[in-house]
Amino acid sequence: MVQKILELGEAPKITIANIAGDLHVKGWKRREALVKTICEDRVTFEQSDEELKIDCPEDCIVYVPYDAILHVEQVVGCARFRALGGSLEIGQIKGPLTLREVGPVEVGTIGGELSAKRVRGDLKIEAVSGDANIRDIDGQFHADTVGGDIRLGDVSGGVSATAGGDVKMSLAPVPWQGYSVSAGGNLHCQLPADGNANLMLSSNARSIRINFPDHTEVIRESSYTFVLGEGGAPINLSAGGIITLAGFDIDEDASEVFEFDFAPGKDISNMAAAMVHQATQHVKTHLKSLDTQLSGLSKTLEEAGISEERAREIRQRLEQARERASQRAQEAADRVQIKLEHSLAAAQRKAARQARQHARTKPIHIDVDALRAAKQSSSDPITNEERMMILQMLQENKISLEQAEELLDALEGKSSL
């Protein structure tokens, strides 16, 4: 395999025209591109100050600056993109597509499966022939057509998708986003049990199943309207098969992330408030530091003696960078706020469950000898109500099996062995 290094400018735009084999692209910190291939004689490059075009008739591995703007026209084989912060636009991938730790992505058609994790922006797809596995999207997810199944989770923005097969997804809806998903087969959707949403459900199989802690039923109708909590985000779900809605604790493992103390009676609201304040202060400090650095760079440019037109262009780019950074920092703070609020709710529910469990399992001291003596002095036989009371205490773990047997013997007036 041979390789070629090409120097790039500060804001590179890279076009990968046609790859006849597989394509692997990875971002790095260097201001240059590294192209690895087995066909050095047939790979072509077209380069200007800020743009680079690559055309390769074989498999190709490309390293590009992390913040490069990347456009891929066509890949005949499979394609994999990793560690990219700039926008990524893809025309056609005839094989499977894998995305890991990338910026916003737009894709035309994918001939194989799609696997996307940790996309820091919107993910928009026109068509996927195979399955789509989507997770951890910091933006909206849109797919016009997915021929196979969809597995979807951890999307911070709205969702719009159509699948020919089954759909299994978990959503944490917010009122300022919309959600619309259609499945040719069955559709299983998990929602926060303490969430708020207005759901419009449509099942060609006339089977809609609701499974929430306070609401469980099966609807044998083709359509159904369900209001979760106080209502809010609009969610439209349709399926050729069965629709299943299930409730879940959105941040069930939040105790591990935020280290909440679930001891019964523990006040955790102040802890969550302190964490929110700490996260907000962190964002403010970051923005202040960013403004200081950018201001210093702007001053340096003024003293560098470059032309006014060039200095104005650079200042505009600095201002745009400041605005983008500010927006991303605020969005990050909002996500922290939302996650902490969900974590607090989950923590409170868990604390309540533990308190109830503690109450159920608290041992009860019963003077069996006194009860036996009282029963022997009475001629009344043991009643069904007394038996049921003992069985209920046994079921709730308030007494052991041995204690239950002793109580029954005492109420029947038997002597202890």
pLDDT in tens, 121-180: 999 999 999 999 999 999 999 999 999 999 999 898 999 999 999 999 998 888 888 899
Residue 271: inside a domain: yes
pLDDT the model gives residue 257: 40
Residue 157: inside a domain: no
Within this chain, do residues 259 and 356 fall inside the same structural domain, yes or no? Answer: yes
Residue 391: inside a domain: yes
Confidence of residue 403 (pLDDT cuts 50, 70, 90): confident
pLDDT the model gives residue 41: 65
pLDDT the model gives residue 32: 85
Radius of gyration of the chain (CA): 31
pLDDT at 316 over 50: yes
Residue 159: inside a domain: no
Q: What is the mean pLDDT of residues 192-207?
A: 90
- The domain boundary, picked from 226, 248, 270, lies at 248
pLDDT the model gives residue 322: 59
pLDDT the model gives residue 417: 39
Within this chain, do residues 380 and 397 fall inside the same structural domain, yes or no? Answer: yes
76-101 residues labelled b (16+ CB within 10 A) or e (exposed) = bbbbbbebbbbbbbbbbbbbbbbbbb
Taking a C-beta distance cutoff of 8 angstroms, is the pair 38, 58 a contact?
Answer: yes
Residue 226: inside a domain: yes
Considering only 200-209, 336-345, 382-391, which range has the smallest mean pLDDT?
Answer: 336-345
Residue 321: inside a domain: yes
Q: What is the mean pLDDT of residues 384-393?
A: 74
- Alpha helices by DSSP H, 111-267: 254-258
Within this chain, do residues 269 and 316 fall inside the same structural domain, yes or no? Answer: yes
Within this chain, do residues 264 and 349 fall inside the same structural domain, yes or no? Answer: yes
Q: What is the mean pLDDT of residues 194-217?
A: 89
Q: What is the mean pLDDT of residues 56-61?
A: 84
Residue 200: inside a domain: yes
Can you give the three-state secondary structure of 188-222, one letter per residue? Answer: EEEEECCCCEEEEEEECCCCEEEEECCEEEEECCC
- What is the C-alpha to C-alpha distance for residues 190 and 169, in angstroms, rounded to an integer? 6
269-to-273, 277, 336, 354 alpha-carbon distances in Å: 6, 12, 15, 17
pLDDT at 34 over 80: yes
| Phi, psi for 142 (deg, rounded to 5) | -135, 130
Within this chain, do residues 190 and 230 fall inside the same structural domain, yes or no? Answer: yes
- The domain boundary, picked from 203, 220, 248, lies at 248
What range defines the domain where residue 276 resides?
Answer: 255-360
For the chain, how many structural domains are there in total? 3
pLDDT at 270 over 70: no
pLDDT the model gives residue 402: 73
Q: What is the pLDDT of residues 68-116, one digit of tens each?
A: 899 999 999 999 999 999 999 999 999 999 999 999 999 999 999 999 9
More confident residue, 230 or 414: 230
Within this chain, do residues 284 and 191 fall inside the same structural domain, yes or no? Answer: no
Within this chain, do residues 217 and 272 fall inside the same structural domain, yes or no? Answer: no
- What is the C-alpha to C-alpha distance for residues 127 and 107, in angstroms, rounded to an integer? 8
More confident residue, 347 or 241: 241
- Round the average pLDDT of the chain to a whole number and report it: 77
Confidence of residue 262 (pLDDT cuts 50, 70, 90): very low
- The domain boundary, picked from 214, 248, 282, lies at 248
Within this chain, do residues 244 and 278 fall inside the same structural domain, yes or no? Answer: no
More confident residue, 165 or 36: 165
Taking a C-beta distance cutoff of 8 angstroms, is the pair 226, 212 a contact?
Answer: no
Within this chain, do residues 229 and 281 fall inside the same structural domain, yes or no? Answer: no
- What is the C-alpha to C-alpha distance for residues 354 and 260, in angstroms, rounded to an integer? 14
Residue 398: inside a domain: yes
Within this chain, do residues 178 and 221 fall inside the same structural domain, yes or no? Answer: yes
pLDDT at 340 over 70: no
